[in-house]
Structure 1
Amino acid sequence: MSKKKWITLAMAAVFLTLPLAGCGSNNTSNNAAPSATAAAEASAEGSASASPGAAAETFGNPELNIAVFQGGYGRDYWDSVAAEFMKEYPGTKINITASPKIAELVRPKIVAGNPPDFMYISGSDNTPILDGLVKDKALLDLTDVFDSNTEAGTPLKLQILPGVLTSSSIAPYGDGKIYLAPYNFGVMGLWYNKNLFDSKGIATPKTWDELFADNAVAKENDRALFTYQGLYPGYLEEMIVPAIASAGGQEALDQFFNYDPEFWKSETYTKVWGLLEKIATEDNALMKGTVALNHTQSQTSFLQGKSMFIPNGTWFEDEMKDAPREDGFQFGFLGVPSLGADGKVMALTQVEQMVIPAKAKNPELAKAFLKYLYSEKSIKLNAEKAKGVMAVNGAPDLVKEYISETTYNIYKAVDSGMVAVSGSFKPVAKGSKFNASDEVYKPISSIMSKQLTLDEYSAKLYKVYTQIQKELQEQGQQ
């Protein structure tokens, strides 16, 4: 399953009332299939709503074309919410195109100046298209949608989790205007077999020293300490980013995500990547064969008791619901241990994004649809059909009946003091050959297989960051 991108914001307590959404869902069909749903009715207000039966008068063209990423969440939610929207807005028609490779389908239309009216883009192979739209200032200003009132009479923006709408991944130009809308929210970190820990009286580690000390416990229980999705080392960001925050705070996160070359000579770098080196070199720390495994293979090995810990997100349980596992296995979420003695456990958080292109043919209807997605009916449908949790206040309790107990408890762990950390790489210059995530994470495979030293790796990344900075400066983006 494709990894998701993170929102540039680091905060604890901000997400206290929110459930975690992940990549997992019961709907995993990979067929790209355009579909048209039929019409319906609703009340609303302002430019982002319409009176029942007045869709054609309000919007002119009552037809909406939307394009959505079809990954772990599937497409059932989009079909269902489109049907409900059309009931609320009689005379409207929504055409849905869904695909795991949605960027390939919509890119030619965007280039031709004929983009979909609304898009949900996710997955590491797809999200660069969002970076391009942001760089080109080709997204519609959505500020009025979030300023408009809900049925309860309060501004929609007050329904969204604190801090999300002001982040640079949602308001990218620093002018306070919103160009990307938040969708599902997820929490990532290390997972373990709760039944094993409970039955043997093993304490969950609060610091990295305690985690490495568990290697002895791992040996006693005939397993390695750690595995990860070897062919997709980007999963390691789920522990790397919180570790950077633990070691160097927001200043270090800013260096890392904004391409300060000096990050790769810093004490924070030495501490965080030292964890990877220790996993790679210490006896029994890394499960044999990990580097050659894909995500499903490594995750199945973990479930079968071949390692004590693995990084993943809140989609994990649903994604692997049919995979074989050791007797009595129970999903347990650890978060990410602290690098200091304070024992402040952290977790990487993620908010996915939805957009309306500036050249959308039907922007007002697209705004109405976007606003409808934050209705209670839609939030519940999203949890029921996609097992996702939207980035809105109170969502965890609102959708508790549709998500697993494990997932609900993870949100509550954040709610009760687990420090939430998030961030994403600043877009590189237009036309750059660099993909920041690939440059940082792909070479880690060579570190874990002991073919690349930390000094060689940091020297390479210092040059990469220097070149990215130069390109940004040349384009006046720095």
Structure 2
Amino acid sequence: MKRNKGVKLVLALAVLASLLAGCGGNNGNNGNKGESETPAEQTGANSSNGDEAGSKSFANPQLEVAVFQGGYGREYWDAVAESFMQDHPGTKINITASPKIGDLVRPKIVAGNPPDFMYIAGGDNTPVLNGLIKDNALLDLTDVFTEAGEDGAALKDKILPGILESPAIAPHGDGKIYLAPYNFGVMGLWYNKALFDAKSLASPKTWDEFFAMNGAAKENGRALFTYQGMYPGYLEEIIVPAIYNVGGQEALDQFFNYDPEFWKSDTFKQAFGILERIASEENALMKGTVALNHTQSQTEFLQGKAMFIPNGSWFEDEMKDAPREDGFQYGFLGVPSLDPAKPVTALTSVEQMVIPAKAKNPELAKAFLKYLYTEKSITLNGEKAKGVLAVKGAPDLVKAYLGDTTYNVYKAVDSGMGTVNGTFKIVAKGSKYIPADEVYKPLSSIINKQMTLDEYAEKLYKIYADIQEELKASAE
């Protein structure tokens, strides 16, 4: 299943292309693979490897770390903990990893005894993270990123542009950083490159070109489109770029900040109208799609039942053992444009790491966080998790551990592909709404013709107005 996308950046990463050129995601989650939920204790080595940071001693040498165990697994966290302990003799890091990490840490948070460091992701776990943000219960990490390191450079200069300034990382609007970026993903539509090459088919640049390919889909015995029907949050990968494509940042701000008037706008009608068109055109939607989970629909796609499917940069690794049609090759399109004058766009997302304000060992937690951005750690992350940190140069550092297709997805923006992202503003404490669920869960009803766009817009208008009232009341 997809990497967590509940953490999104409220801006287009317009300069990402040039940076990656020089450097080389709800509703969804990281694709739980059934890894163990049992804690693992790591014991540090007795001698330093000569790392200059290894000379630093800590008043409290023990660190409690809790991490989400999904598609990235836990092997990276075990490896980087061992590496950190070797470079910092005498320290001891205890790793607890679970797909249900939220359930494990929630009682500790409530009791005022949270882990020292947490990586929280996955749709079932993110309410815990959102609760910590609402309660102002996260440690201010601004100094971690702004203070000069031993090389004289600040860590903030290593992070991809726009990320540290976004509400996903600085959620309170005061410019202070409370969440640290982890892996980032690139999302859009995928296709069978081998088929397109064999049939001399060009990937569509606009949605009109996309729907015009329905004829080619029929000729090759497949539907035009499928998606992870039981998890309609994957359709975000189409919707967010479409909103930005039509209405720009102003429309995205309306959408993510609960302006009810968004649901009466032309931008809404055009962007969400893509789904209505998929529902109405013969052969556009693969039969049975809405009843399929993520692996089922993705396997159907790999076996040649549909021409396109939305997914992210984790796709190739997640489905590495799945059956597929002869000669299948992953091809990444991005998201076609509604405006022919604008480029194909990709959705991007960044996952987060935090230190609770009540952590018993914030000093060591900050040191561990800084360590995660070193080349050694970035390379381990690529090797063990097949992940790419939101750091300049990370794609090329981990190229040897990524499939060619996955690497090329990260480099796709070099060819002029736009990038965009966003995250829903945190709702009022105690709100009865989970915005992503309210927006994305009904989309299958639209595609299944059980709900019209007008009915959907009317419902969301009322929900957004209600959320605004909750925010207003909480501010008084």
Match of 1:184 in 2: 183
Residue pairs, 1:163-242, within 5 angstroms:
163-242=162-241
Q: Is the 8 A contact 1:280 1:449 kept in 2?
A: yes
Partner of 1:7: 9
**Equivalents in 1 of 2:172, 2:466: separation in Å?**
23
Which of 31, 36, 41 pairs up with 1:36?
41
Q: Tell whether 2:19 aligns with 1:17.
A: yes
- Three-state SS of the structure 2 residue aligned to 1:383 is helix
Please say which of residues 128-137 and 432-441 is displaced more in the overlay: 128-137
Q: Judge conservation of contact 1:118–1:355 (CA < 8 Å) in 2.
A: yes
SS in 1 for 2:252: helix
Distance in 2 between residues matched to 1:264 and 1:62, nearest whole Å: 53
Deviation per residue, 1:402-433 (Å, 9 max, x gap): 11111111111113321110001011110111
TM-score by length of 1: 0.95
Rounded to whole Å, the distance in 1 between the matches of 2:24 and 2:351 is 9
Q: Is this contact kept in 2: 1:28–1:73, CA < 8 A?
A: no
Q: In structure 2, how many angstroms separate the alpha carbons of the residues matched to 1:324 and 1:315?
A: 17
CA RMSD of aligned residues (A): 2.0
CA distance in structure 2 between the partners assigned to 1:328 and 1:466 by the alignment: 51
Q: Distance in 1 between matches of 2:142 and 2:414?
A: 28
Q: 2:348 maps to which residue? A: 349
For residue 151 of structure 2, give the secondary structure of its aligned residue in structure 1.
coil
Contact 2:217 2:224 in 1 (8 A): yes
- Aligned CA distance change for structure 1 residues 25 and 133 (closer, same or farther; 3 Å): closer
Q: What secondary structure is seen at the aligned counterpart in 2 of 1:420?
A: strand
| Per-residue deviation, 1:152 | 3.3
Q: Which amino acid aligns with 1:123?
A: G
Question: Which structure 2 residues correspond to residues 21-420 of structure 1 after superposition, within 5 A?
Answer: 28-40=33-45, 41=48, 51-52=54-55, 54-55=56-57, 59-420=58-419
CA contact (8 A) 2:29 2:123 kept: no
Q: Mark the CA change 1:27 to 1:254 in structure 2 (over 3 Å): closer, same or farther.
A: closer
Deviation at 1:26, TM superposition (A): 11
Contact 1:12/1:418 (8 A) holds in 2: no
User: For structure 1, which segment, 268-277 or 28-37, has the greater mean C-alpha deviation from structure 2 after superposition?
Assistant: 28-37
Cα shift at 1:451: 0.8
Note closer, same or farther for the CA distance 1:150–1:398 as it changes in structure 2 (3 Å cut): farther
Find the residue that maps to 1:279 and give its secondary structure.
helix
CA–CA separation in structure 2 for the residues paired with 1:384 and 1:260: 43
Q: Is the 2:24–2:397 Cα contact (8 Å) retained in structure 1?
A: no
Distance 2:192 2:150 in 1: 44
Q: Counterparts of 2:30 and 2:271 in 1: how far apart (Å)? A: 32
Q: Which residue of 2 aligns with 1:474?
A: 473
User: 2:62·2:93 contact (CA, 8 Å) conserved in 1?
Assistant: yes
The answer to whether the 8 A contact 2:85-2:92 is kept is: yes
Match of 1:406, as an amino acid?
A: T
Report the Cα distance in structure 2 between the residues aligned to 1:382 and 1:137, rounded to whole angstroms. 30
Q: Give the aligned partner of residue 442 of structure 1.
A: 441
- Name the CA distance, whole Å, in 2 between partners of 1:180 and 1:51: 25
Q: 1:302 to 1:51 in 2, by over 3 A?
A: closer
Shift of 1:25: 9.0
CA distance in 1, matches of 2:30, 2:262: 37
Task: Structure 2 unaligned segments of length 5 or more: list them.
Answer: none
Paired letter, 1:339:
L
SS in 2 for 1:370: helix
Measure the CA separation in 1 of the matches of 2:322 and 2:177. Answer: 41
Q: Distance in 1 between matches of 2:376 and 2:340?
A: 45
**Residue 206 of structure 1 contacts residue 343 of structure 1 at CA under 8 Å; is this kept in 2?**
no
Work out the CA distance in 2 between the residues paired with 1:15 and 1:130.
30
1:28 and 1:86 map into 2 onto residues whose CA distance is 28
Letter in 2 for 1:238: E
Equivalent pairs, count? 469
Deviations 1:240-261 (A, max 9, x none): 1000000111011000000000
CA distance in 1, matches of 2:24, 2:314: 7
Counterpart AA for 1:30: E
- 2:253 & 2:30 partners in 1: Cα distance? 33
Q: What is the DSSP-based 3-state SS (H/G/I as helix, E as strand, rest coil) of the residue aligned with 2:308?
A: strand
Cα distance in 1, alignment partners of residues 29 and 245 from structure 2: 28
Change (3 A) 1:219 1:10: same
Q: State the alpha-carbon separation in 2 of the partners of residues 212 and 159 from structure 1.
A: 41
Deviations 1:309-361 (A, max 9, x none): 00000000000001010011000000000001114100000011000000000
- Quote the Cα distance in structure 1 between the aligned partners of 2:417 and 2:74: 32
Aligned AA for 2:119?
Answer: Y
Deviation at 1:234, TM superposition (A): 0.3
Alpha-carbon distance between aligned partners in 2 of 1:343 and 1:178, rounded to the nearest angstrom: 33
Give the conservation status (yes or no) of the 8 Å contact 1:194–1:332: yes
| Cα gap change, 1:267 to 1:441, in 2 (>3 Å) | same
Other structure's SS at 1:475 match: helix
**1:44: how far off?**
7.9
1:404 maps to a residue whose letter is: G
> How far apart are the structure 1 equivalents of 2:262 and 2:31?
41
One-letter amino acid matched to 1:91:
G
Contact persistence 2:17–2:416 (CA under 8 A): no
> Residues of 1 paired with 2:123 and 2:24: CA distance?
17
How far apart are residue 162 of structure 1 and its match?
A: 1.1
State the distance in 2 between where 1:21 and 1:219 align.
38
SS of residue paired to 1:17: helix
2:202 counterpart letter in structure 1: A
Shift of 1:155: 1.1
- 8 Å CA contact 1:182–1:391 kept in 2: the answer is yes
Paired with 2:43 and 2:20, the residues of 1 have a C-alpha distance of: 32
Q: What secondary structure sits across from 1:255 in the alignment?
A: helix
The amino acid across from 1:4 in the alignment is K
Deviations 1:23-77 (A, max 9, x none): 99999343212111011447889xxxx552x53xxx2110000000000000000
Q: Distance in 2 between matches of 1:26 and 1:290?
A: 19
In the TM superposition, residue 18 of structure 1 has moved relative to its aligned partner by 4.0
Offset at 1:177? Answer: 1.3
Per the TM alignment, residue 151 of structure 1 is displaced from its structure 2 partner at its CA by 4.6
- Alpha-carbon shift at residue 154 of structure 1 (Å): 1.2
Per-residue CA deviations over 1:380-418 (Å, capped at 9, x if unaligned) read 000000000000111111111111111111111113321
